[in-house]
């Protein structure tokens, strides 16, 4: 069966293309490495899709970059990976198959070892080759990547409905560090052993040394106690180092997995939640991790030793031991009884904290508007009210926890008093020595400590349950998934079809698009017009598969986007929105965001095409200037030109311009218009614009009204007949006449102005 899978994979590797830039036999190293990863995944019945190609955009070529790319690509496909370095002989002894790299960074799949030969599959070859290890050693870089499908992926494959987020998600991550955790527990074991020796030593000093005035014994005991203290310090330090090192690695892995899942979620998830709420839920990961890798990890070992201490205490005095045992239900009961109330308080605190986080994020993003409206004082009062509610909730939850701790601490002090009184009577009656009483009290403290710790841990466990519940709302959300057509990696040609498409953003919300149908040939330029709310932006979003329609189909090259791999689609679609987001990176990094491997010359070329080159050169560090969060250091028009250059940088087959020039002045817009033919060349282009004169070059114009396609045709055809397009065009032309710099107002244009609602087209 494995042989059949390997043979099928070989055909797949030689015949399938990877991306729009990949040629079958002369493909670049990244493209061929993508095939190798896809083949390796296919051997384990995993569809690679197109999203793994992104890894080479991030890490580039070369052996080191290729190894990182392969590792991340396999992790993206839910493999547990490890990068190895060694000889061919060592490679042959590992569990095969693996992905090996030659000296140029080109990947091959090593299927199995047969004597002194290796079965190797290269991208582009029809079948695997049987190669001598010595021959392969001459081209082998010494680096290979192994991967096995994660337990989560296997369980999800067997029963997708059973895979819910919970404590098992954390334990699975911790299980990878079993060796390190075992070392921590071993160090804890010896620390407890040394702790047991101290009370016994004190008893010897009091009962033997003081009674018999034996200075030699005293010196021996003091040296022993000093040695125990030193060893305990060394072991505790080593334990803390191992613990911190391991928890940091766990933090990185858990954080990376959470962020990766977040990036795979559909837009509908983010539209139904505000950003502050999502950020607050993500931060709960730290609370959950702190519990599992904090005191909870060693608490069970401490509890085990508490049983040992109780046995030793029973040897000293059964009566005193029973008194200690009688207090244990008080410690546990106080925490257990208050748990439901505390959980409710913590949930209220979290909800208010998430609201405050969202309010703060919204405030920082709208600071210019708040200052422009001079509402700082009233906005501050709103914040103070929200903050007061949160502080009150935090006080109530903290107060509840503090009262529980006070009850436990008071019971602990009462236990000490009772032990001292009853113990003293035992000494007076001759049933216990003075040294024995002191040793018993020290051992009692060692028993009480883990019991008290467990009591506080129950409160932390309550907090963790709340954290896990909040995180589950993210982790249990279904990511974007490709189904039947998801493994297709052929380059897009650009034919687009809307087949009776109807769409709503929410189940009970208004219909944004209603029964829209049209067909666009590859390479056509399509204008989309309509007043604000007509459905132009929604149409663009459906073309990106950010959403899928409730009825009807959106097809690209005959492929229903509902079943297409979103990475395959979006990597070949360029988008420029009116409010396109830029990042706190350099101008060059923003332009090359989707294609980080672009050379400086290539970045400069697309910037020139977008009319951005001139103003970028005037920035303090030119293309190396950091443009601020959301491009705040640039004007609106400059941000738009950077966004256009970014969309062109990936050489998309489909280009979506959604009010892309709305923020540009006439001079800058003219630069874009002059280059528009070159920008659109060889692409299918959709242009939504409020200045309809810019759409004269469109092959066809779609007119939307209330979510319906009411007109369709060329500009000259639509302008010659009465209809919605002609009225919009006349309004647009009149508005442009008013907007252009002029010594006097065009009175006729002013008379031609329609209602204000028609300006947003």
Q: Which residue has the tokens 């067909």?
A: 519
Q: Is the pLDDT score of 9 beyond 70? A: no
405, pLDDT greater than 60: yes
Does the structure show a pLDDT above 60 at 484? no
Q: What are the b/e assignments for 120-131, b being 16+ CB within 10 Å?
A: bbbbeeeebeeb
Q: Is the pLDDT of residue 474 over 70?
A: yes
Q: In what order do the strands lie in the sheet with 511-520?
A: 511-520, 496-504, 551-556, 559-560
Q: Same domain, yes or no, for 438 and 354?
A: yes
The reply to whether 255 and 287 lie within a common domain is: yes
pLDDT for residue 407 is more than 70: yes
> Does 628 reside within a domain?
no
Q: Of the candidates 162, 185, 208, which is a domain's last residue? A: 162
Residue pair 79/147 in contact (Cβ under 8 Å)? The answer is yes
Question: Quick one: 330 and 184 in the same domain?
Answer: yes
From 196-205, 292-301, 503-512, 665-674, the region with the lowest mean pLDDT = 292-301
- Separation between Cα atoms, residue 104 and residue 671, nearest integer Å: 43
Given 475, 499, 516, the domain boundary residue is 475
Distance (Å, whole) CA 34 – CA 23 = 12
Least confident of 56-70, 305-319, 434-448, 667-681: 56-70
Question: Could you tell me what percent of the chain has a pLDDT over 90?
Answer: 13
pLDDT of residue 753: 40
Interval 148-164 mean pLDDT: 62
For residue 665, pLDDT over 50 is answered with yes
241, two tokens: 């180092």
CB 156 within 8 A of CB 164: no
Instruction: Pick the range with the lowest mean pLDDT from 153-162, 215-224, 377-386, 537-546.
Output: 153-162
Residues 299 and 427 in one domain: yes
* Residue 636 belongs to some domain of the structure: no
Q: Is the pLDDT at 46 greater than 60, yes or no?
A: yes
Q: How confident is the model at residue 45 (pLDDT cuts 50, 70, 90)?
A: low
DSSP state of 740: S
pLDDT reading at 633 higher than 60: yes
**Residue 264 belongs to what domain range?**
168-475
Torsion angle of alpha carbons 371, 377, 383, 388, nearest 10°? 170
Is 619 inside a domain boundary? no
Asked if residue 52 has pLDDT above 70, the reply is no
**Do the domain assignments include residue 515?**
no
Write down the residue that tokens 């129950």 correspond to.
458
Q: Based on the fold, state whether residues 151 and 178 are members of the same structural domain.
A: no
Question: 469-478: buried (b, 16+ CB within 10 Å) or exposed (e) per residue?
Answer: bbbeebbebe
Four-residue CA torsion sign, 126, 131, 133, 139: negative
240 and 130 fall within a common domain: no
Confidence of residue 513 (pLDDT cuts 50, 70, 90): very high
Tell whether the model's pLDDT for residue 455 goes beyond 70: no
Digit-coded pLDDT (tens) for 525-537:
999 998 888 889 9
Q: How far is CA 470 from the centre of its chain?
A: 15
Q: Is residue 752 part of a domain?
A: no
Residue 158 included in any domain: yes
Regarding whether 174 and 37 lie in a shared domain, the answer is no
Would you give the end-to-end CA distance of the chain in angstroms?
60
Within this chain, do residues 200 and 333 fall inside the same structural domain, yes or no? yes
Q: Is residue 440, in this structure, part of any structural domain at all?
A: yes
Which residues 6+ apart lie within 8 Å of 366 measured at CB? none
| Dihedral in degrees, nearest 10, Cα atoms 226, 229, 230, 236 | 180
pLDDT band at 521 (very low <50, low <70, confident <90, very high): very high
Per-residue confidence at 17, pLDDT binned at 50, 70, 90? Answer: very low
Residue 701: predicted pLDDT = 92
**Is the Cβ–Cβ distance between 128 and 120 less than 8 Å?**
yes
Same domain, 134 and 188: no
Q: Check if the beta carbon of residue 640 is closer than 8 Å to that of residue 580.
A: yes
Query: Mean pLDDT in the chain?
Result: 78
Query: What distance in Å separates the CA atoms of residue 571 and residue 545, rounded to the nearest whole number?
Result: 12
Instruction: Retrieve residue 455's tokens.
Output: 């009591």
Rg of the chain taking only CA atoms, in angstroms: 35
Q: What is the pLDDT of residues 330-351, one digit of tens each?
A: 777 777 777 778 778 877 887 7
User: What are the phi and psi torsion angles at 571 (to 5°)?
Assistant: -70, -15
The pLDDT assigned to 11 comes to 43
Domain boundary among 449, 475, 501: 475
617 pLDDT band, cuts 50/70/90, is very high
Count of structural domains within the chain: 2
What gap in Å lies between CA 348 and CA 333, rounded to an integer?
24
pLDDT digit string, tens, across residues 359-386: 887 787 778 778 777 788 888 888 888 8
Which one-letter DSSP state was computed for residue 564? B
Task: Report the length, in residues, of the chain.
Answer: 761
CATH (domain of 333): 1.20.1560.10
Model pLDDT for residues 636-664, shown as the tens digit of each residue: 888 888 999 999 998 999 999 988 777 66
Q: Is residue 385 part of a domain?
A: yes
What is the predicted pLDDT for the residue at 607? 92
Place 740 in a pLDDT band, splitting at 50, 70 and 90.
low
Answer yes or no: are the C-beta atoms of 151 and 458 closer than 8 Å.
Answer: no
628 SS3 class:
coil
Residues 182 and 96 in one domain: no
Together in a domain, 69 and 206: no
pLDDT surpasses 80 at 697: yes
H-assigned helices in 429-535: 434-475
pLDDT at 425: 86
107 vs 195, which has greater pLDDT? 107
Q: State residue 541's pLDDT score.
A: 92
CATH number at residue 82: 3.90.70.10
Q: What pLDDT score does 755 carry?
A: 42
Same domain for 151 and 211: no
| HSE, side-chain direction, 13 A CA sphere, residue 318 | 0
Whether the Cβ atoms of residue 745 and residue 722 lie closer than 8 Å to each other: no
Is the pLDDT score of 728 beyond 50? yes
> Between the CA atoms of 413, 416, 421 and 422, what dihedral angle is there, to the nearest 10 degrees?
130
pLDDT tens string 707-721: 999 999 988 888 888
**pLDDT of res. 161:** 52
Which segment, 163-177, 428-442, 596-610, 691-705, is predicted with the most confidence on average?
Answer: 596-610
**Which residue's structure tokens are 């380059």?**
491
Q: What is the DSSP letter of 694?
A: G
199 vs 494, more confident: 494
Contacts of 137 (CB under 8 A, 6+ apart): 87, 88
**Higher local confidence (pLDDT), 378 or 169:** 378
């Amino acid at each position: 069966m494995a042989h059949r899978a390997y043979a099928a994979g070989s055909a797949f590797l030689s015949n399938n293309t990877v991306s729009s830039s990949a040629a079958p036999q002369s493909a670049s190293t990244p493209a061929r490495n993508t095939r190798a990863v896809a083949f390796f995944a296919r051997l384990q019945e995993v569809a690679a899709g197109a999203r793994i190609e992104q890894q080479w955009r991030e890490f580039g070529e070369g052996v080191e970059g290729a190894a990182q790319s392969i590792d991340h690509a396999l992790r993206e496909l839910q493999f547990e990976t490890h990068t190895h370095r060694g000889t061919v002989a060592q490679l042959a002894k590992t569990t095969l198959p693996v992905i090996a790299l030659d000296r140029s960074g080109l990947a091959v799949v090593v299927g199995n070892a047969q004597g002194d030969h290796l079965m190797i599959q290269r991208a582009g070859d029809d079948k695997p080759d049987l190669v001598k290890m010595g021959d392969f050693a001459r081209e082998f870089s010494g680096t290979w990547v192994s991967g096995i499908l994660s337990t989560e992926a296997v369980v999800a494959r067997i029963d997708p409905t059973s895979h819910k987020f919970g404590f098992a998600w954390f334990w699975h991550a911790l299980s990878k560090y079993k060796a390190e955790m075992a070392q921590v527990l071993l160090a804890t074991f010896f620390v407890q052993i040394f702790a047991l020796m101290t009370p016994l030593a004190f008893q010897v000093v009091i009962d033997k040394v003081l009674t018999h005035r034996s200075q030699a014994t005293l010196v021996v005991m003091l040296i022993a106690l000093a040695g125990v203290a030193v060893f305990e310090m060394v072991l505790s330090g080593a334990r803390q180092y191992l613990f911190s090192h391991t928890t940091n690695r766990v933090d990185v892995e858990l954080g990376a997995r959470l962020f990766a899942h977040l990036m795979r979620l559909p837009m509908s998830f983010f539209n139904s939640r505000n950003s502050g709420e999502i950020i607050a839920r993500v931060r709960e990961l730290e609370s959950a991790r702190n519990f599992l890798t904090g005191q909870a990890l060693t608490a069970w070992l401490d509890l085990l030793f508490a049983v040992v201490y109780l046995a030793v205490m029973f040897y000293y005095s059964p009566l005193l031991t029973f008194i200690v045992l009688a207090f244990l239900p008080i410690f546990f009961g106080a925490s257990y009884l208050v748990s439901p109330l505390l959980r409710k308080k913590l949930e209220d605190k979290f909800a208010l904290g998430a609201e405050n986080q969202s309010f703060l994020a919204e405030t920082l993003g709208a600071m210019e508007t708040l200052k422009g409206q001079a509402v700082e004082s009233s906005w501050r009062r709103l914040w103070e009210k929200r903050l007061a509610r949160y502080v009150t909730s935090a006080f109530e939850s903290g107060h509840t926890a503090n009262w529980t701790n006070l009850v436990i601490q008071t019971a602990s002090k009462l236990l000490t008093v009772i032990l001292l009184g009853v113990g003293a009577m035992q000494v007076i009656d001759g049933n216990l020595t003075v040294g024995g009483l002191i040793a018993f009290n020290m051992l009692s403290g060692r028993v009480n400590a883990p019991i008290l710790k467990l009591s506080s841990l129950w409160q932390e466990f309550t907090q963790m349950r709340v954290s896990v519940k909040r995180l589950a709302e993210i982790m249990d959300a279904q990511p974007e998934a490709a189904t039947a057509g998801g493994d297709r990696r052929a380059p897009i040609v650009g034919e687009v079809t809307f087949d009776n498409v109807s769409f709503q953003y929410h189940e009970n919300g208004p219909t944004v698009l209603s029964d829209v149908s049209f067909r666009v040939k590859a390479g056509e330029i399509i204008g989309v017009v309509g007043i604000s709310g007509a459905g132009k932006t929604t149409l663009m979003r459906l073309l990106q598969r950010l959403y899928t329609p409730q009825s009807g189909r959106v097809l690209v090259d005959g492929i229903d986007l509902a079943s297409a791999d979103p990475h395959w689609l979006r990597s070949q679609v360029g988008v420029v929105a009116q409010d396109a987001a830029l990042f706190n990176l350099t101008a060059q990094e923003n332009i090359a965001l989707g294609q980080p491997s672009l050379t400086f010359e290539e970045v400069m070329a697309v910037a020139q095409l977008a009319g951005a080159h001139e103003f970028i050169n005037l920035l303090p560090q030119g293309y190396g200037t950091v443009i601020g969060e959301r491009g705040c250091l640039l004007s609106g028009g400059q941000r738009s030109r950077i966004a256009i250059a970014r969309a062109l940088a990936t050489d998309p087959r489909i280009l979506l311009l959604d009010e892309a020039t709305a923020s540009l002045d006439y001079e800058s817009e003219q630069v874009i218009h002059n280059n528009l033919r070159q920008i659109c060349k060889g692409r299918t282009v959709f242009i939504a614009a409020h200045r309809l004169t810019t759409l004269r070059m469109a092959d066809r114009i779609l007119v939307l009204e209330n979510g319906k396609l009411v007109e369709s045709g060329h500009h000259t055809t639509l302008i010659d007949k009465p209809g919605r397009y002609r009225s919009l065009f006349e309004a647009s032309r009149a508005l442009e006449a008013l907007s252009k710099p002029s010594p006097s107002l065009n009175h006729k244009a002013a008379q031609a102005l329609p209602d204000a609602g028609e300006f947003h087209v």
